[in-house]
Amino acid sequence: MREVPLSLNSQEFLSSVLKEGLRPDARGGYDYRDIKISFGPQWGHAEVLLGRTRVLARVSTTVAQPAPSRPNEGSLFFNVHLSPLSSSKFSGARSDFSTVVTRLLERTIKETRVIDTECLCIVAGEKVLNLRVDITLLDFAGNVIDASCIAAMTALSHFRRPDFIVNGEEITLFSDKDRDPIPLSILHVPITCTIGFSGEKILVDPNDEEESVMDGYVSIATNTHHEICYIYLGGGVTLTPALVSKCCEISSLKTQEISAQITKSLDEDSALRRKAGTDRPSAISSLTLQEKLDRLYVEDRTNKRENLQAEDGIESATFGSITIRYIDEMDTMDEDGVVALSESAAEPAQTIPDTSQEEESFPGF
Amino acid sequence: MADDFKIAQPKQYQRLFLKDEIRPDGRALTGCREVKIHVNAVSSALGSAMVCYGNTRVIAGIKGRFAEPTINNPNSGYLIPNMILPMTCNTKYRPGYPDDAGVAMSNKLNTLITDITDLMELCVVPGKVVWSLNLDVVCINDDGNVLDAAVLALSAALNNTWLPATRVMEETGRVLVDPEGERSRLELKFIPIAVTLSVFDDKTLPDPSEDEENIQSGSVTCCIDDQSKIRAMWSSANLSDDVISAALVYVQKRASVLLSVLRKVSKTS
Amino acid sequence: MLGTLENSIRVRPISSELSILGNCDGSARVKQGNSSVMVGIWGPVEVKQSKEDPEKCVIETTVKGATGQGSPLDKMYEEAVRQTCEQVVITSAHPRTCIQVIVQVESEDGAILAVMKNALCLALMDAGLPMRSMFAGVSCAQQENEELMWDPTAEEEEESTAQYTFVYENSRNNVIYVHCTGESTVEQYMLALQKSRQVATEVFGFYRESFEKLLRKDVKFQMLLPPIIKGEILEEPE
């Protein structure tokens, strides 16, 4: 099926609006769209809604022979499927973009040793558990990279592998019913933050329209320890070292925010499962679980909104029902080269439990 | 003239015949094409059969090899059916890679034969080596109703399958086929027979030819075993309950005829 | 919902979300218990020249499982979805075009074929394609004690001796698709066929509710729909 490109008028409008520092969906330059994380009935089934971009992640295991080079480690495999459900520009077949996302996830999650793969070994050199993460893009509205990474990390944190025992030569793999499955050992949580560039302006979490007019983007994966895990520069844009370090600061901050949300949603899910009387997902109806999660999410969101609005000192203009907020001045820098972020972007750092430490390492905030 | 009419207006052509209670190839409305079964058609296979439904010709061959069992079922062997619809049997199939229709049909055969034999019987060394039987069904010529022919060929082949004796090398632990040992017959729990009815307008026509398949509004395939139990049913036609129960009566009658032929062939071989 | 069934018939809670995908022409997600399927429709759109049919539109189906690489079973589901579409969609209304049906299984816990068909029907309606009738899929499993169990979980399917999936249409109440495996007698089969029709009737009622919920958001339809008695429709099924 043929892809429908953005009309010339829309393109012109968008670039002129972005030049003025406005974003079509009334976001600030550093704002992410709403992130909604929900879980399915099985372990390792997570769905992430980033704005309207919807990504499904499923984790599964198989028993296989290990690679001869690493006889006592299981492997982690990513499969990114850009389903034709999501947009007319994806045919469902492997494309350049799906390879980009797969590579990015591999570099970010597999090669930074997020999962302790030695825990997946059953009998060294003979049998290991292999992990497979299936990422399916269900709806496309820009920034597939971040949505996929959040979904993959959430699903891996949510997943529980089957328990096994080895008795001589006999291997017994227990079903979830016979023995409680075991969570994976996750060493750190890297999250990518994609930042688009349109002329002088930077756009955190670009949506589909912005993606079609922006010059290029950078995806930076950082973890909660303020470590940079991977940087990917896409779209053929060139950056100054100062801009790169500024983007790294933004990414680090957003990672704190997002990983806090992942932890929170995981806690909520486990609380719900416990409340349902059992940790075994098959015993609860997914409908009620889903609905409860939805409700929690809605309450949480409305609270947040109200708080935000109360403290919101940013100038905003309203046209009918559309609110346009001005992007904060992005080019102001201190003498030290540390970026001064506006309040609204720095504010969510409150959700991070360990703020004191952060202030030490980032005197700019 | 008649040929031109058939190409331009295939449905009208069919209707003109059906009005006179006859089908274009001269059969009565409930008539079936001649069925031929030839068992042990392939001498190198453990069991095989060739089946003809009129011009439709299908060959089934069973080949065994040793395989490793799964962790969860350490004593169960495998039955792996594979339906091959090459382009040479009908130009509607694409050359090269497996056709979707073939994969879908392999699945149907797979669901049909999952319980056909005790998979534990295929165990050679518990937890280590089991028989994996590849059931290859190749269509030589597709003139409609390939599924029925494939099921019949598969049933006839499985019913005449002999597993060779095996022995384990003491030093290496390797398993070998023992050509001098006594072969054992694969015991079947049931023998499935498939009967397909093609639905055109308000008529159900058994054993459709390719021309009839191209214009049908849907079809019903029912698999009945030798204990007259339903083993599988796939229907994609708009049918009322009365039509279904009438079809089931017909299917049972037809299946018992085919079964008696199959039994006769197996005895003489 | 699903309250008027015979006592012996029990089904898992069913829920739907319509038009949840922003880019597709029609989409729906149906959850029955722990089984969840998303269906999206593109169409009628242009068709590859080699597949073009001058008399009707071509229906292309893709079925994707939730985990692992594509299993051969997906091809059978694709065939099943296409056959049902061809029975119901008035394909002659859009000659020389193509309707793409994409089925994404999100989680699988029994009765998956029926869930697929229900999601398919809602997605086709959401896409606004001309149809001869609606249809509803019903799965049931025959237990060892010859009792029938509707809308089985994967575990119940595993333990059963026969599994049936029927798809009924609602204009003449005929069955338009049957998938039956396992071992059953003719009598048992006919009983399952007739009893499952009751569940289908309930599913049609569920479709109606789902669409009322969707249309209520649209000002054009608000006048036409009966007013909500507080809490009646939004109540969560127990």
Query: In which band, very low, low, confident or very high, does the pLDDT at A218 lie, cut at 50, 70 and 90?
Result: very high
Per-residue pLDDT averaged across A163-172, rounded?
84
Confidence at residue A278, expressed as pLDDT on a 0 to 100 scale: 53
In chain B, the largest separation of any two C-alpha atoms, in whole Å, equals 76
Q: Testing the interface with A: which of C21, C153, C236 to mutate, by most A Cβ within 10 A?
A: C21
Are the C-beta atoms of C105 and C65 separated by less than 8 Å?
A: yes
Confidence at residue B63, expressed as pLDDT on a 0 to 100 scale: 93
pLDDT digits (tens, 9 = 90+) for C158-168: 999 999 999 99
Cα→Cα distances A341→A23, A28, A31, A149, Å: 18, 12, 12, 25
Helix (DSSP H) and strand (DSSP E) numbers for chain B: 6, 14
pLDDT at residue A283 greater than cutoff 70: no
Domain around C31: 14-222
Out of A229-243, B228-242, C3-17, C216-230, least confident range: C216-230
Smallest Cα distance from C34 to chain A, Å: 6
What CATH number has the domain bearing residue A154?
3.30.230.70
Q: Is residue A159 part of a domain?
A: yes
Q: Is residue A359 part of a domain?
A: no
Strand partners, A36: A49
Confidence at residue A104, expressed as pLDDT on a 0 to 100 scale: 96
Strand partners, A195: A204, A218
Domain around A193: 22-280
Confidence at residue B52, expressed as pLDDT on a 0 to 100 scale: 95
Query: In which band, very low, low, confident or very high, does the pLDDT at B34 lie, cut at 50, 70 and 90?
Result: very high
The CA angle B182-B186-B188, to the nearest 5 degrees, is 155
Cα B203 to Cα A115: distance, rounded to the nearest angstrom: 62
Q: Is residue C98 part of a domain?
A: yes
Q: For chain C, how many structural domains are there in total?
A: 1
Strand partners, C231: none
Chain A residues bordering chain B (beta-carbon distance below 8 Å) = 63, 127, 169-173
Environment class of A40 (CB within 10 Å of its CB; exposed 0-12, middle 13-18, buried 19+) = buried
Confidence at residue A346, expressed as pLDDT on a 0 to 100 scale: 39
Reduced 3-state DSSP string for A311-338:
HCCCCEEEECCEEEEECCCCCCECCCCC
Percent of chain A at pLDDT > 90 equals: 50
Bridge-based pairing state of the strands C162-169 and C135-142:
antiparallel
Tokens 């750190």 -> residue: A188
pLDDT digits (tens, 9 = 90+) for B146-155: 999 999 999 9
Out of A192-196, A227-231, A331-335, B53-57, least confident range: A331-335
Which residue type, as a one-letter code, is found at position A96?
D
Q: Is residue C237 part of a domain?
A: no
Domain parsing of chain B, residue ranges: 33-268
Confidence at residue A323, expressed as pLDDT on a 0 to 100 scale: 35
Chain B residues bordering chain A (beta-carbon distance below 8 Å) = 71-72, 127
Cα A17 to Cα A40: distance, rounded to the nearest angstrom: 39
Cα A298 to Cα A293: distance, rounded to the nearest angstrom: 9
Region of residue A24 (left: phi > 0; alpha: psi -120 to 50; beta: else)? alpha
Bridge-based pairing state of the strands C162-169 and C148-150:
unpaired
Region of residue A308 (left: phi > 0; alpha: psi -120 to 50; beta: else)? alpha
What CATH number has the domain bearing residue C86?
3.30.230.70
Cα A356 to Cα A344: distance, rounded to the nearest angstrom: 19
Confidence at residue B74, expressed as pLDDT on a 0 to 100 scale: 87
Confidence at residue A151, expressed as pLDDT on a 0 to 100 scale: 97
Cα A261 to Cα A351: distance, rounded to the nearest angstrom: 9
Percent of chain B at pLDDT > 70 equals: 99
**C64/B contact by beta carbon, under 8 A:** no
Q: Is residue A221 part of a domain?
A: yes
Select the more confidently predicted residue: B199 or A320.
B199
Cα A85 to Cα A326: distance, rounded to the nearest angstrom: 34
Confidence at residue A169, expressed as pLDDT on a 0 to 100 scale: 77
**Three-state secondary-structure class, residue C108:** coil
Nearest to B72 among A127, A169, A173 (CB): A173
Neighbours of chain C (3+ CB pairs under 8 A): A, B
Region of residue A350 (left: phi > 0; alpha: psi -120 to 50; beta: else)? alpha
Beta strands in C108-192 (DSSP E): 135-142, 148-150, 162-169, 175-184
Q: For chain A, how many structural domains are there in total?
A: 1
Q: Is residue C90 part of a domain?
A: yes
Is C62's CB within 8 Å of A84's CB?
Answer: yes
Question: Within its chain, how far is the Cα of A109 from the centroid?
Answer: 12
Reduced 3-state DSSP string for C175-231:
EEEEEEEEEECHHHHHHHHHHHHHHHHHHHHHHHHHHHHHHHCCHHHHCCCCCCCCC
Percent of chain A at pLDDT > 70 equals: 75
Homologous superfamily of B33-268 in CATH?
GHMP Kinase, N-terminal domain (3.30.230.70)
pLDDT digits (tens, 9 = 90+) for A46-99: 999 999 999 999 999 998 899 999 899 999 999 999 999 999 888 878 889 999
Which residue type, as a one-letter code, is found at position C115?
V
Per-residue pLDDT of chain C (238 residues; tens, 9 = 90+): 445 566 678 888 999 999 999 899 999 999 999 999 999 999 899 888 888 888 899 999 999 998 877 788 899 999 999 999 999 999 999 999 999 999 999 999 989 999 999 999 999 999 999 999 999 999 999 999 989 999 999 999 999 999 999 999 999 999 999 999 999 999 999 999 999 999 999 999 999 999 988 888 877 777 777 766 544 444 444 4
Neighbour-count burial for B47-70, b at 16+ CB within 10 Å, e otherwise: bbbbbbbbebbbbbbbbbebbebe
Which residues of B fall within a CB distance of 8 Å from A172? Answer: 71
Cα→Cα distances C73→B107, B111, B133, Å: 6, 10, 20
Confidence at residue A235, expressed as pLDDT on a 0 to 100 scale: 86
Per-residue pLDDT averaged across A112-119, rounded?
91
Residue B21 backbone dihedrals phi, psi, to 5 degrees = 60, 40
Q: What is the ipTM of this complex?
A: 0.90
pLDDT digits (tens, 9 = 90+) for B115-143: 899 999 899 988 889 999 999 999 999 99
Inter-helix orientation angle A286-311/A241-275, to 10° = 130
Nearest to B100 among C78, C80, C186 (CB): C78
Are the C-beta atoms of C180 and C190 separated by less than 8 Å?
A: no
Query: In which band, very low, low, confident or very high, does the pLDDT at B81 lie, cut at 50, 70 and 90?
Result: very high
Token representation of residue C18: 């319509």
Inter-chain contacts counted by CB atoms under 8 A, chains A and C: 99
**B184/C contact by beta carbon, under 8 A:** no
Smallest Cα distance from C234 to chain B, Å: 36
